[in-house]
Amino acid sequence: MVEHVFRDSQKSTEIWQLMNFRGLTMSPNSNIKDWMSQFFYNHSNWMGRVIGCMLWAIWTDRIQFLHEGKQRPVLERINFISSYIQELDGIHMRKSNTIVEETWWKVSQAHTVKINFDATYNKKESKSSSGITIRNGYVKVLHSKVSLHANIPTSFAAKVVACLQVVELGFSVNLPMVEIEGDSLTVIRKMKGDREDKSEIRPCISDIRSMSKRFEKCVFKHALRQENKSTHILATKGLKRQEEFYLSNAIPGYAEQSVEINERMLGFPVTGYPLA
């Protein structure tokens, strides 16, 4: 029986706590094989890699102590786990021929709130949905929103409409300084430029540019898809379910895991949100 090594030892308990996985530890009567099977079935591949690496680090530490008398500090093990996961993620990105500098959502600058947006488009029905999250510098979700739109001519138009929703929402909740992030580089470049747009959605683009100047500070930034994951999930589910919502200090359960991953990787306590 090896379950006590991963569950009951002081060092393993500290690792579970510092990695903010305390609620996922094995129960006293759990068999490790059954517990791992259930965990991998119920959680994402990324979460599985993290847990697998944690168990490996705990077991390696135990073996080194028994055979060599070595005991490494807990924080050293935490750094090892984090570094190894980042290395695995880097290998995955290189295999997919994607050039990535950093894939995790980043905190905003001081006194600035970050608004992320994405859109999902149904070409056949000319419909789209926009997903929006507003988060503070501690990664906490302040607002989340999904809106449905009809008569949308292109996927590019869907992204622009979502960006307009962001600016309008920022004003409605009285945000003075904002960073607006989306994973469409074309849209972000349009918003940062000052050339007159001649596309069919130029009124939207003009409105966004005009309204953004009314903030004390408004910066448009391009985000990688992984950084924008929570809003992508919101937009995709919203279009599929044909549902709209607006939540304060909450995010739907199906997108909560992506936010919790950001909290863990950035070293913030996992907040937990009301069920929605």
Identify the pLDDT of residue 98: 35
CA 124, CA 47: separation in Å to the nearest integer?
35
Q: Report domain extents, the chain.
A: 3-95, 113-265
Tokens read off for 233: 């999930």
Identify the pLDDT of residue 30: 67
- Give, for all 276 residues of the chain, the pLDDT tens digit: 565 555 556 666 666 665 555 545 556 666 667 766 766 666 666 667 777 777 777 777 777 767 777 777 766 766 676 666 666 655 444 444 433 334 445 555 556 899 999 999 999 999 999 999 998 877 788 999 999 999 999 999 999 999 999 999 999 999 999 999 998 888 998 888 877 777 778 889 999 999 999 999 999 998 887 778 889 999 999 999 999 999 998 888 888 776 665 555 555 555 555 444
Cα–Cα distances (Å) from 209 to 77, 212, 264, in that order, read 48, 5, 35
Instruction: Tell the CATH topology of 113-265.
Output: Nucleotidyltransferase; domain 5 (3.30.420)
Identify the pLDDT of residue 154: 92
3-state helix, strand, coil in the chain (%, to 5): 50, 15, 35
| Residue 270 near residue 20 (C-beta atoms within 8 A) | yes
pTM of the predicted model, to two decimals?
0.59
